[in-house]
Amino acid sequence: MDLAKGEKIILENLYEELSKVVIGRQKEIKLLFTSLISKGHVLLEDLPGMGKTTLVKAFSKVLDCSFSRIQCTPDLLPSDVIGMSIFSPKSSEFSFRKGPIFTNILLVDEINRALPRTQSSLLEGMEEGQVSVEGQASLLERPFMVLATQNPIEMEGTFPLPEAQMDRFLMKIRMGYPTIEEEELMLKKVGDELPYDQLNSLFSPEAIVYMQSKAEQVFVHDSISSYIVALATETRRHPMFTVGVSPRATKALYKAVKSWALINQRDYVLPDDIKELVAPVWNHRVVLTPEASLSGMQSEKILADILAKAPIPEEVLEKAQ
Burial of 261 (0-12, 13-18, 19+ CB in 10 A): buried
Q: What is the pLDDT of residues 177-229, one digit of tens each?
A: 888 988 888 888 776 678 888 888 888 889 899 999 999 999 998 889 999 99
| β-strand partners of 95 | 86
Closest CA to 250 of 270, 225, 268, 223: 225
Last residue of a domain, one of 193, 210, 227: 210
Domain enclosing residue 122, as ranges: 11-210
20 shares its domain with 81? yes
Q: What is the pLDDT of residues 51-68, one digit of tens each?
A: 888 888 889 888 888 889
Asked if 276 and 27 count as a contact pair (C-beta separation under 8 A), the reply is: no
CATH number, domain containing residue 160: 3.40.50.300
263 shares its domain with 136? no
17 within a domain of the structure (yes/no): yes
Full DSSP string of 288-317: E-HHHHHTT--HHHHHHHHHHHSPPPHHHH
Last residue of a domain, one of 162, 185, 210: 210
Closest CA to 209 of 64, 54, 83, 39: 39
Q: Check whether 89 has a pLDDT greater than 50.
A: yes
CA distance 217 to 204: 21
User: Which helix (H) or strand (E) covers residue 219, if one does?
Assistant: none
Asked if 137 and 130 count as a contact pair (C-beta separation under 8 A), the reply is: yes
The confidence score (pLDDT) of residue 137 equals: 82
pTM (two decimals): 0.87
6 within a domain of the structure (yes/no): no
Angle, CA 305 vertex, CA 36 and CA 307 arms, to 5°? 55
CA distance 67 to 79: 18
61 shares its domain with 108? yes
Q: Is the peptide bond before 143 cis (omega within 30 degrees of 0)?
A: yes
Closest CA to 48 of 134, 136, 152, 132: 152
Of 16-20, 33-37, 261-265, the range with the lowest mean pLDDT is 16-20
What's the domain count of the chain?
Answer: 2
82 shares its domain with 162? yes
Q: What is the mean pLDDT of the chain?
A: 85
Asked if 18 and 28 count as a contact pair (C-beta separation under 8 A), the reply is: no
Q: In a 3-state reduction of DSSP, which class is residue 145?
A: strand
Asked if 123 and 168 count as a contact pair (C-beta separation under 8 A), the reply is: yes
